[in-house]
Structure 1
Amino acid sequence: MATTEKTDHSLDLIWEVEEIARIIGRTHRQTNYMLASGALPAKKVGGRWVIERSKLIAFFMEDAA
């Protein structure tokens, strides 16, 4: 059984401020500030913010340690 669709979990990306905010439990405004100031390990791609889920988790786990 061959499948043409391959899932790569190493690049589990989260797109857009709204989705990032929902995941980290912050408001859109707080999250936008954190992204713009470089407080979160994210990048802007084509005018949209994107972050790897694993990097976001690692960022908060490091903060808690």
Structure 2
Amino acid sequence: MTKHPGPVANLQQTASEVTLGDDLLRGADEIARFMFGDVKHRRKVYYLTGEAPRGMPHFKMGSVICARKSTLLNWIAQQERFTPGE
């Protein structure tokens, strides 16, 4: 089993170093580009924010799906540590 680095906490910056605008992803295209490297995976974003059993953390601004990069990185780190049956 590959050992991954610790939690994303060591990558986090202080609030004075990062603005919400730098951390905010607006829309399925931006989220897909951040998570999967390409906007063609936007349907995965809709699945993860709707039907997935362990859904992706997100919120809406009006009708636009939004997420914070820092929150997604922490969520991904939690998924890596998740053991089925917990």
- Aligned with residue 32 of structure 1, among 46, 56, 73: 46
In structure 2, stretches of 5+ residues that fail to align are 1-15, 82-86
- Aligned with residue 18 of structure 2, among 9, 12, 17: 9
**Where in structure 1 do 4 or more consecutive aligned residues deviate above 6 Å?**
none
Look up the match of 1:60. Answer: 76
Identity of aligned residues (%): 24
CA RMSD in angstroms comes to 2.1
Name the SS of the counterpart of 2:43 in structure 1.
helix
**Number of equivalenced pairs:** 59
Q: TM-score, normalized by length of structure 1?
A: 0.75
Q: TM-score, normalized by length of structure 2?
A: 0.59
In structure 1, stretches of 5+ residues that fail to align are 1-6
CA distance in 1, matches of 2:70, 2:44: 21
**CA 1:23–1:60 in structure 2 vs 1: closer, same or farther (change >3 Å)?**
same
